[in-house]
Chain A
């Protein structure tokens, strides 16, 4: 093809010009012509209407912001729900009249919530936070924002699929939100959705229409995750800038790549489980249901199914899902720790290999969630062994993070504080994982608050810390302004200390046998002694929640009033997202995409504070940090 065959209007758009959207091929000589609009011009933005710029945008940066703001919305709802049910656990006698005002009086007669409402709250809390916040909110935000910017691409491989990914997520959220207000309320069968409770409509109030809507919502969510993941992997493997070999990728990108692979292989399995469940619920099949007698109804028509089958399918997704939640945080924290320690990440390759090892093991440990299902002890022992193997790559990561900070001249930004906090939480929560990975101990602790403490620290709060670190660190890239530091530090300290106050005491409750998922422990003499502790946990939970509102305020305030960015690379980082303009247009770089010459962690090398990836290697310079 000759140059005359191409018409590009580059010169007419001096700012934020993209390449692909201004190229028209003459369709001769077998040239592929892409008709989809692969980017809008920055100066086009003024011409485009509000809907194209902010709603149905195909710009990965805008889609990232959409994921983030939607994630924040759901985090407030999901966190708020936990405060309501913590009130029930800490202060069961205090009437909460607002429940009736919002959801209807039948859920809380005289302000005292019903057990069904409690079930609804814990189900929606788990679903919203695991899927909507820590999967879509975390991966969706940072994969969209960082992948094209850090690998040097103008956008995702398919911006349209990317937009669809967000809108399927939005739709999933909408259906879930509506489910709160149907007469039978939202789903109330726990986020793991185990049959037979979830498979028989008549089994509980929370098994009725709410459960149908939950399944519909999750189906949309799975489609969203698959479209997103497909795009992330394709983009990372195919659209890297010149010189950006896999061994030069920032760890954020490696983490997001591995996360997307996990999602792509495990979410379809959840979809399979959900399809069979839908048939059991609505078409009378017996995949998960055996002979059941229900009081008031009589014998159910089902026969020959097995509820444990669902658990196998669910946890085949469910365990990788844990890593889908935590791996992006690994990546973000690795990047933020290195940048703010002004040192190369310790053991770059070991970090990648350990993430790959964790991802591979993720598919072979699912049954450790099922030790109490009557699993054959031999099978159990295999899963114990495989589970404990995960401690090795996890320990490598922790060691490397600490070694990165060791003797460093650390720059304490809110992002750095949250990253250090992440390492602390990952150690605390990870150690209890070693207890629970042993079937002999798990059988005792499985249905107690020990588990609640473990997974909230290692996966819930830790992943949130990764997310906060990412938001504080890349906020300038998103909005061209900084978040307020003081508010950031207050947010960090309350959240850090407060989270430990919430979850640390739960270990003691769990070891004493206090069961989780119970609406009230009042009827049990032996658990009543923990009443004061439960009150303390509830107060801590409310304080931590209020601190998150401070974060939301800081976010919104800083979007419009935050300190403006005056230099391209405020953190003095090496990665190439900081070579784009302060407010990059669709297409990211005004001119050509920069060429990459070196790895992302050349900090404190050869007497220089930092050497960006775009700086060519000097003669005789070694690739490894000296």
Chain B
């Protein structure tokens, strides 16, 4: 017969497995961006490269996404301490900041086009468009998941299992945040 201990251990195992699975997923996303930035680097080394100055919108969006990570951090902390109303405020703020980030990225692309850097122009510009677009796809995925988690954890009554979901979501969110900071710095380095 299965006793309570075994059951709880089996679920603990599953919780760990989910977190581990998330890390693997992140490793896989990291590989995608490694490939894209390696291609960026190799192509830059070949010459005939247009160095693109980052539009102001990208600077602001970088600030916004960092801010969203901070609000998420405190949202989680509020949940841990049981301050659910503070949690609600912060988690919805995170979501709004995420949407603001995407909007700013879009405005950034428009601004680049205004300065004559087009998607189909020199690869120096094309790479920035494509890599930032692929990144935005991951942020959009994050926003959809965050919306689900937010609705789930704010509308439904308090449940300790929520913390597990929030924790997984936070890891993903911080990851795409860090990813953008990496890309943003990467775009501005003249390697060759």
Contacts and interface: CB of A to CB of B under 8 A. Distances in A.
Interface of A: 1-3, 5-6, 8, 10, 19-20, 23, 25, 27-34, 38, 157-158, 161, 226, 229-231, 233-235, 237-239, 264-269, 271-273, 275-276, 279, 283-287, 301, 303-306, 309, 312-313, 316, 592
A139 B54 CA distance: 44
B25 to A, nearest CB: 6
B32 A238 contact: no
A272 B123 contact: no
A268 B39 contact: no
A158 B21 contact: yes
Contacts of B24: 229-230, 233-234, 264
Contacts of B34: 269
Which secondary structure dominates where chain B touches chain A?
Answer: helix
A19 B123 contact: no
A268 B120 contact: no
6 contacts: A8-B7, A23-B7, A31-B160, A283-B120, A301-B120, A316-B35
B28 to A, nearest CB: 5
B14 A283 contact: no
Contacts of A1: 4, 8
B148 interface: no
A230 B21 contact: yes
Contacts of B42: 309, 312
B17 A234 contact: yes
Contacts, number: 154
A306 B43 CA distance: 8
Nearest to A289: B123
A105 to B, nearest CB: 38
Contact of B36 (A3, A25, A272): A272
A10 to B, nearest CB: 7
A275 B120 contact: no
Given A234-B24, A268-B28, A287-B39, A30 B2 contact: no
A285 B11 contact: no
A268 B35 contact: yes
Contacts of B130: 275-276, 279, 285, 287
A265 B27 contact: yes
B144 interface: no
A121 B24 CA distance: 36
Contacts of A279: 119, 126, 130
Interface residues of B, number: 48
Given A1-B8, A234-B24, A313-B39, A30 B119 contact: no
Contacts of A38: 14
B160 A30 contact: yes
A272 B160 CA distance: 39
Report the 5 A-B pairs with minimum CB-CB distance, sorted nearest first: A284-B120, A272-B35, A268-B32, A238-B17, A268-B31
Contact of B123 (A161, A283, A285): A285
Contacts of A265: 27-28, 31
Given A6-B7, A23-B7, A239 B17 contact: yes
B126 to A, nearest CB: 4
B10 interface: yes
Contacts of B120: 283-286, 301
Contact of B21 (A20, A157, A273): A157
Nearest to A269: B35
Contacts of B12: 32
Contacts of B59: none
B164 interface: yes
A303 B6 CA distance: 63
A268 B179 CA distance: 15
A142 B53 CA distance: 51
Given A234-B21, A235-B17, A309 B39 contact: yes
B13 interface: yes
A92 B36 CA distance: 44
A238 B161 CA distance: 20
B145 interface: no
Residue of A1, A8, A230, A313 with most chain B CB atoms under a 10 A cut-off: A230
B20 interface: yes
Given A1-B8, A226-B28, A238-B16, 13 more contacts: A25-B11, A29-B160, A31-B160, A34-B11, A158-B21, A234-B17, A237-B20, A238-B17, A265-B27, A271-B35, A275-B130, A275-B134, A303-B122
Nearest to B46: A306
Contact of B11 (A20, A283, A304): A20
A32 B20 contact: no
A610 B12 CA distance: 35
Nearest to B119: A283
B66 interface: no
A31 B11 CA distance: 9
A235 B119 CA distance: 42
B33 to A, nearest CB: 8
Nearest to A301: B120
A304 B123 contact: yes
A33 B159 contact: yes
B124 to A, nearest CB: 9
A264 B8 CA distance: 30
A81 B67 CA distance: 56
A29 B46 CA distance: 60
A276 B27 CA distance: 20
Contacts of A267: 28
Contact of A271 (B8, B32, B126): B32
Given A3-B3, A283-B120, A264 B10 contact: no
B181 interface: no
Nearest to A234: B21
A279 B120 CA distance: 9
Interface string B103-129: 000000000000000011011001100
Interface string B26-54: 01110111111011001100101000000
Interface string B142-170: 00000000000000000111011000000
A158 B28 contact: no
Contact of A269 (B4, B32, B161): B32
Contacts of B6: 19, 592
Nearest to A17: B2
B169 to A, nearest CB: 15
Nearest to B39: A309
Nearest to A264: B28
B35 A305 contact: no
B188 interface: no
A239 to B, nearest CB: 6
A603 B1 CA distance: 32
Contacts of B39: 272, 276, 287, 309, 312-313
Contact of A286 (B8, B10, B14, B126): B126
B85 interface: no
B8 A31 contact: yes
Contacts of B4: 1-3, 5-6
Nearest to A267: B28
A163 to B, nearest CB: 15
Residue of B13, B14, B119 with most chain A CB atoms under a 10 A cut-off: B14
A13 B33 CA distance: 49
A309 B20 contact: no
Contact of A268 (B14, B17, B29, B164): B29
A33 B34 CA distance: 36
Given A2-B4, A27-B160, A268-B31, A287 B17 contact: no
